């Protein structure tokens, strides 16, 4: 119970039939027992904030570091594409798409770490446990999954609603001079872009992620939703467990998608970030 609730508790101990004098005495006693830093609304708010930071400082610094790294990667890629020839054709659309893709790669690389049971068990016995909240691993796993969904949406929308239209409508002379070599000197159409290797792999990744992430939500994982037969098999832990294994395909598609991107040909400039997939034995999900 919070200390600023003490006055309410003490007042409630006095029945409605108690003498008025006793009520006044109880109220005065409650105010006396509450420390001065909790008496005014401002001091109470500040005290609650300090208490929250004291109780959650491990979570706060780790999430802050994670956000800073994501922001730094986004800005790095954004600025990089501002200086490339693609910017002359697609403008800030390509910068946003590539920045979101860079954060997506990072979180796809990290998202498996919080569910590696054996690894976390080992790390808990080290000095890192004093500064890293290993017991919040599942919550961090969910946060990164949400960031992957957001980055995927931004990357996809920036491409299909902005990059592709500007690419196919660009004057031929300008296209050939700036991006012709990236497309074998043939200006693509919208269907050409969708049917390309990056286009097909991107669509497949979105389908797999949407399916797996939907079945991982609380309503489906805990069978809160009641689907008609035969769709009722999609609700429950087993459906969530097996659907999550489809994300192995998403990892493979991510590698292929990144390797065949149009605007970068040198392999060492394609920043595909991957970690080793843990075996089911090394997972909290079993």
What is d(CA 82, CA 94) in angstroms, rounded to the nearest whole number?
9
The answer to whether the predicted template modeling score (pTM) of the entire model surpasses 0.75 is yes
Would you mind telling me the total number of residues written for the chain in this entry?
286
Residue with tokens 């006693």: 29
The token pair at 210 is 């949407």
Q: What is the largest CA-CA distance in the chain?
A: 93
Structure tokens at 63: 């999430």
Q: Give the residues across from 283 on adjacent strands.
A: 116
User: In the prediction, which pLDDT does 158 show?
Assistant: 95
Q: What is the CA radius of gyration of the chain?
A: 27
- pLDDT of residue 30 exceeding 70, the answer is no
- Which sign, positive or negative, has the C-alpha torsion 202, 206, 212, 218? positive
The pLDDT of residue 39 is: 60
CA 11 from centre of chain: 45
Q: Compute how many other C-beta atoms are within 10 angstroms of the C-beta atom of residue 197.
A: 13
State the Cα torsion 257-259-260-261 to the nearest 10°.
80
Choice among 1-10, 86-95, 168-177 with the minimum mean pLDDT: 1-10
Supply 132's token pair.
């890293």
* 188 in Cβ contact with 170 (< 8 Å): no
Residue 283 parent element (H or E) = none
Predicted local confidence at residue 275, as pLDDT: 36
Measured in degrees and rounded to the nearest 5, phi and psi for residue 116 equal -85, 95
pLDDT in tens, 170-187: 999 999 999 988 898 899
Residue 72 to residue 251: CA distance in whole angstroms: 23
d(CA 38, CA 23): 21
Q: Which residues are 168's β-sheet partners?
A: none
Specify which of 35-44, 110-119, 268-277 reaches the highest per-range mean pLDDT: 110-119
Q: pLDDT band at residue 165, thresholds of 50, 70 and 90?
A: very high
* Residue 272: band (very low, low, confident or very high) from pLDDT cuts 50, 70, 90: very low
> Is there a contact between 86 and 178 (Cβ–Cβ < 8 Å)?
yes
Neighbours of 167 (CB within 10 A): 23
- For residues 199 and 114, give the distance between their C-alpha atoms in angstroms, rounded to a whole number: 30
Distance CA 89, CA 254 (A): 25
In DSSP terms, 116 is beta-bridged to 283
pLDDT at residue 41 tops 90: no
Tokens of 228: 């008609």
| Angstrom distance (rounded) from CA 73 to CA 100 | 9
Round to whole Å and give the CA distance between 151 and 211.
Answer: 17
CA 95, CA 162: separation in Å to the nearest integer?
Answer: 11
């Amino acid at each position: 119970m919070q200390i600023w609730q003490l006055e309410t508790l003490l007042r409630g101990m006095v029945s409605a039939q108690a003498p008025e004098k006793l009520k006044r005495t109880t109220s005065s006693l409650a105010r006396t027992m509450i420390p001065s830093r909790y008496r005014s609304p401002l001091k109470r708010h500040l005290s609650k904030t300090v208490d929250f930071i004291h109780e959650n400082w491990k979570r706060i610094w780790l999430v802050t570091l994670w956000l800073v790294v994501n922001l730094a990667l986004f800005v790095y890629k954004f600025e990089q594409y501002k200086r490339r020839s693609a910017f002359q054709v697609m403008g800030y659309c390509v910068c946003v798409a590539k920045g979101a893709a860079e954060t997506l790669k990072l979180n796809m690389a990290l998202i498996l770490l919080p569910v590696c049971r054996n690894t976390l068990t080992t790390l808990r016995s080290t000095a890192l446990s004093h500064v890293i909240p290993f017991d919040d691993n599942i919550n961090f796993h969910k946060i990164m999954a949400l960031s992957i969904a957001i980055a995927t949406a931004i990357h996809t929308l920036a491409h299909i609603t902005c990059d592709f239209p500007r690419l196919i409508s660009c004057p031929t002379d300008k296209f050939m001079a700036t991006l012709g070599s990236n497309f074998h000197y043939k200006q693509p159409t919208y269907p050409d872009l969708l049917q390309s290797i990056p286009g097909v792999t991107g669509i497949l990744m979105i389908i797999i992620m949407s399916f797996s992430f939907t079945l991982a939500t609380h309503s489906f994982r805990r069978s809160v939703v009641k689907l008609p037969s035969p769709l009722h098999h999609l609700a429950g832990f087993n459906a969530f467990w097996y659907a999550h294994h489809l994300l192995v395909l998403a990892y493979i598609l991510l590698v292929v998608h990144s390797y065949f991107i149009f605007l970068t040909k040198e392999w060492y400039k394609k920043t595909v970030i991957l970690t080793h997939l843990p075996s089911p034995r090394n997972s909290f999900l079993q």
